[in-house]
Every structure is written in C-alpha cells, then in structure tokens.
Amino acid sequence: MKRLAIGVLLAAAMAGVFLYTGVTRDAEYRRLVAAGDEAVAQDQIYLAIEAFSGAIALKSDTMLAHLKRGETYHRRGDLVAALRDLTRAAALAPEATRPLEQLGDVTQALGRHEEAAQHYAAYVARDDQTPRVLYKLALTHHHADRTVRAIPLLRRAIELDSQMPEAHYLLGIGLWNQDSLDEAAEAFSQAVALSPGFIAAREALSGVFSAAGRLDEHIGELETLAALEPDRPDRDVELGLGYARVGRTDMAVLALGRAAEEHPEQPLVYTALGRVWLDIARTTDDRVAVAKALGALQSIPTAIASSEALTLLARAQLRSGEVDDAVAALELATKRFPLEPAAFVELADLVERAGDPVRAHQLLVDHDVLMPNAPTPGRVARLTRIADLSLRLGDPADAVVRLTQARALGEPSAALHIRLADAASRAGDRDVARTVIAEGLAQYPTDRTLLALQRIFE
C-alpha cells in the first residue's frame, strides 16, 4: 500500500512537470511569435526571422510560425526560403487559405506562373469571395495568354470590389485582346477614374481610342499624359504626332516646337518635327516646309541620328534636289540600328535609277527579310519587283522563288501566274511552267495571255 502511494505521488509529480513544461513551451512559443510580429512591424527582418525560427524549434508542427517566417523571407526577397516555409505551412494546415495566397505570390515572383495559378485556384476553391485573390488568379491567366479564363474572374472581382483600378485595367486588356473595343475603353476609363495617375491605364485608353477611330478622345488622353509627365519628351512627341495624324498640323508644330525648346538635346523631338514638316510639304508642296524639315533633321548630329531620322533627312534632301546627299543619308540609315525598313526600299529606288540593279536587288531582299509579315499587297509588289530584277540579272531561278512566295501570300492574279510561268520557263523548268499555267486557268479561265501560253507549252 505504501509503495502504491509513493507511485501515485511520483506519477502526479511527473504529470505536473510535463504539464508545466508544456505550458511553458506554449507560452514561450507565443512570446517568440509575438516578438517576430513586433520585429516585422519595425522592419527588423533579421530579428523577426530569428524569433520565428525559435518558435519553430519549440513547436515544429504548427502552421503559424512557418507561415510568418515564410512571409518574412518573401519580404526580404529570399524567395527560395520563403517557398520552403510556405509549402510546409500549407502542408500543416491544408484547409488554410493564407498559405495558398502567399505561395501564389512567391511562385509568381519566381516566374512560375502556372504553379502560381494552381495555388490561387486552390484558394478560390475554398473562398471565392476575396477580390484580391480573384485578381491575382486572373493575372496568372493573363501572363499565360488565357484571356478567356481571366475575364470572368476579373468581372467577379469587380463585382465584389468595384474600387480596384488594377482589375478594371486588366479587364480592359483582356477585352482589347478580344477586339471588344468599346467595352475595353469603358474598363480603362473606370481604371483612370479611380486612379487618375494610372499611367499604363491612360496609355491603354489612348491606344484603344485610336484603334476604335475615336481620335478626339485619343488626342485628349495624349494631352493628359503629356501634362502628367512634363519631363518626358516622348510624351510631347506622341502628342505632336497624334495631332498630325488627325490633320491638326498647326498644333503638332506648336507642341513639338515647344518640346524642342524644353529639350534641345533630344533627337527624337527633332525627328518628329522633321516628320511633321515633311508631311506638310508632301500635301501642300510648300518649299518653306521642306526647309523647316531640313532644319529640324540637320540639327541632329549625324553620329547619333537614328535610322528613322536619316531616312526622313534623305526624303527632305530629295525634295530639295540633293540626290547625292540623300543617297549618303540612306546608306547610313541601312546600317544604323534599330533599322528603318523603308530606308532599304528608298535607297533601292535611287541606286536602281543610278544603274546598279545588283545593289537594288540586295537592298530589296534585305527589306523583305526585315519585314516578313508586311501587309500582303505591299509585300507581293516588292517580291514581284525583286523577281523582275532577278530576271534582269540573269537569275530566273531566284525569280521563281520570289514569285512563288508572292503567290503563296494568298492574293494571286492572272498577271502573277503569267510572271511565274515565264520565270520557270526561263529557268528551264517547263513542267513547272505548265503547272502554273493550268492553275492560273483554273482561276482565270478566260485570260487571253494564259490561254496563249497554254498553247505554246502544249
């Protein structure tokens, strides 16, 4: 009996020790978590990590300390460490949403957009009433070009919280990608109404107004952008060229002239001013406008003039009869990056006129390499011109290649079939010539030249 009593007393004592130890551990754990929170609030990141690490050492199977340390690592920019802790937090509390959002944020920052989408989607599956996370999930779909999936999420986020300018902006981008211009304009307008200094939204609104043909509103946004960022000369350039596009050349000259006074060291301003004066000269045949264009463009030192500026300078020089100077300017333009593709065509015109078809051919080939996705009618015309030069240079095989490319662009004609058949014949490939003639007659059965060629090649 005595032994039993002693055993009971020992058991009670040990239980007391364990209870005391557990209570003490819990208290110390809470103290360390609170200390970590306080350090974070004071931006003492290293102290916060140390406190949360101490809490984890005491109770490694609790979610909160892992979550808070992961968030702190994220704040410090240590994304790998943050990912480790947040993954552990999510595993310890599978139904918790906060670790999922944080995991989405970290994987998004790591550029792992698909993984981020999975974390945000898991959050939304548990709670679809948080507009912030709906927006983040939509953003991952946007990065992955899944506009169709992003739009309903953004509409839902806006329904829950209409005061999110970034959600309206992203919705506008998605709608613009679907060519819903009026709806996109409304979304961008909502974004800038909520945040008047939201530059990206104003730029997008200006762009969608332009695409929709709402040019006065387009100009209005350009004016606002220029006013919001007065120290950016490119804003004045965009505004000046915008005025010129709608025929308000007086306002264009005024805006660009003022920009030149405020930013005399900026070549892009003089380039734009030269372009506007050249446009005026082309429509009015005003020699004063030509002189103004020359003055603006020649004020740019040759050593720093862009390919675009040199091409414009050559056009002004041609209008002034300075052909040799124009050739020299275009030669420089075809060697200065970023290249102005038009320089190659304009120089080809001049050197061909001067009797150098070899150089003209090469320039046009270079231009075609630079502009493989040029509008079809223009590219067909240039490929046909290259083919003509190839024939002049005794290279009918190259002419066949160019004319075949032109026909493949989807705008064939009887004349193109005739040219291709002729080139194939000159290259010694009569079978190809017959095939081309037959294909041409299938589309243009009454064309006299094709019928005559068919008889010749029978």
Asked whether the predicted pLDDT for residue 6 surpasses 80, the reply is no
| Mean pLDDT in residue range 51-66 | 94
What is the assigned CATH class of domain 22-108? mainly alpha
CATH architecture of 128-229: Alpha Horseshoe (1.25)
| Mean pLDDT in residue range 383-390 | 97
Kindly report, residue by residue over 157-190, the tens digit of the pLDDT: 999 999 999 999 999 999 999 999 999 999 999 9
Q: Tell me how crowded residue 118 is: count the other CB atoms within 10 A of its CB.
A: 17
pLDDT in the model for residue 10:
44
| Percent share of the chain, pLDDT over 90 | 91
Please, what sign has the CA dihedral across residues 97, 102, 107, 109?
positive
Question: Which fold does the domain 373-458 belong to in CATH?
Answer: 1.25.40
Domain with CATH 1.25.40.10 in the chain: 22-108, 128-229, 373-458
Q: What HEC string does 17-29 produce?
A: HHHHHHHHHHHHH
pLDDT band at 23 (very low <50, low <70, confident <90, very high): low
**Token pair belonging to 204:** 């997008």
Mean pLDDT score across all residues of the chain: 93
| Mean pLDDT in residue range 21-48 | 89
Kindly report, residue by residue over 65-82, the tens digit of the pLDDT: 999 999 999 999 999 999
Look at the pTM and tell me if it is higher than 0.95: no
pLDDT band at 410 (very low <50, low <70, confident <90, very high): confident
First to last CA, the chain: 127
Q: Which CA distances in Å does 170 have to 185, 253, 320?
A: 12, 35, 49
Contact 149, 165 (CB under 8 A): no
